Amino acid sequence: MTLVIMAAGMGSRYGGLKQLDPINRHGEFIIDYSIYDAVRAVFDKVVFIIKEENLADFRETVSKRIEGSVKVDFAFQRLDNIPDGFSIPEGRTKPWGTGHAVLAAADVVNEPFAVINSDDFYGSDAFVKLHDFLLTQKDAKSDGKAHYAMAGYILENTITENGYVSRGICEVENGHLVRVTERTKIQENSGVIQYNENDVWHDLDRKAVVSMNCWAFTPAVFDALKSGFTKFMRELPDSENPQKAEFFLPFLIQSCIDDGSCDVRVLETGAKWYGVTYREDKPRFVAFIESETKTGAYPDGLWK
């Protein structure tokens, strides 16, 4: 079973390649802890989606550490990887988004797989639940639709005091995802969690279920991603900002839910999210890992 890690983003708000920023004395990264939790949950392959120019850095750090514990492969998210007949908008340098990132792994993933961000800490419970779900899935659509899953987090467990974050706000019925709405500017203001849209702040339920880009898929998702990205490129010239518009993974999943080609089980977890959206987030995560290490939840040096 495969873990796909989206690690092509440069982290503009963080100010550098945050995926490769050590958080302990062994030089390990947040990615190491996600992989360690996944290996404990019996994932046996890891695919990093990266920019090709970062390959040497990944191979010399996290890849070298984990190769004795799990199979490793790479996929490259490239700006010029677009469908035939389309072109890159003049001045565009921004990657195409999370949906395009996962599509980049189509040639190296042929089995059920989980997807995560490289700069988020999800907690071991999420990987156990994703693994157990994937054990029940085959790519065949016996009932005419694909079956996916998403780890659902509680909104108040996923924010930072250091700025805004992006989250997929979820509507859930009978344990399945009905709607996910991407909100790109969420933060806590005077004790109230809000999102900003068109310079107006709107309140959010602190207990709302949110998507953290922690998914379980079968390979059927690649055909959907390919069709969805082609549609995105066709509509790009009419978008508000062709230089920055993104093909978000939650948007694609929502369209599949709406047309009945998939359903998504929500695997709720009460785990506390940690991430390094901003450099100021790092000390809190470091302190958390030090505490978890002292309790024995993680060894002092994951890959010794």
Looking at every residue in the chain, the average pLDDT score rounds to 89
What secondary structure does DSSP assign to 93-147, as a single string? -S---HHHHHHTTTTT--S-EEEEETTEE--HHHHHHHHHHHHT--S--TTSSEE
The proportion of the chain whose per-residue pLDDT surpasses 90, expressed as a percent, equals 61
What digits encode the pLDDT tens for the residues 237-258?
A: 988 889 889 998 988 999 999 9
Q: Quote the radius of gyration of the chain (alpha carbons, Å).
A: 19
Cα of first residue to Cα of last residue in the chain, in angstroms, is 23
Q: What is the longest distance spanned by two Cα atoms in the chain?
A: 56
What digits encode the pLDDT tens for the residues 145-195?
A: 899 999 999 999 888 887 888 888 999 999 999 998 888 889 999 999 999
Among the residues of 219-304, which ranges form H helices?
A: 220-235, 249-259, 282-295
Are 255 and 228 spatial neighbours (Cβ–Cβ below 8 Å)?
Answer: yes
What's the rounded Cα separation, in Å, for the pair 192 and 225?
Answer: 36
User: HSE (CB half, 13 Å, CA atoms) of 228?
Assistant: 28
**Burial of residue 57, with CB atoms counted within 10 A of its CB: 0-12 exposed, 13-18 middle, 19 or more buried:** middle
Position 280 scores a pLDDT of 80
What digits encode the pLDDT tens for the residues 200-227?
A: 999 999 999 998 889 999 999 999 999 9
Position 95 scores a pLDDT of 87
Task: Name, in order, each residue with C-beta under 8 angstroms of 117's C-beta and a sequence gap of 6 or more.
Answer: 5, 6, 212, 213, 214, 275
84: pLDDT confidence band, cut at 50, 70 and 90? very high
- Centroid of chain to Cα 62: 18
231: pLDDT confidence band, cut at 50, 70 and 90? very high
pLDDT of residue 105 exceeding 70, the answer is: yes
Are 163 and 13 spatial neighbours (Cβ–Cβ below 8 Å)?
Answer: yes
Is pTM beyond 0.85? Reply is yes
Task: Name, in order, each residue with C-beta under 8 angstroms of 223's C-beta and a sequence gap of 6 or more.
Answer: none
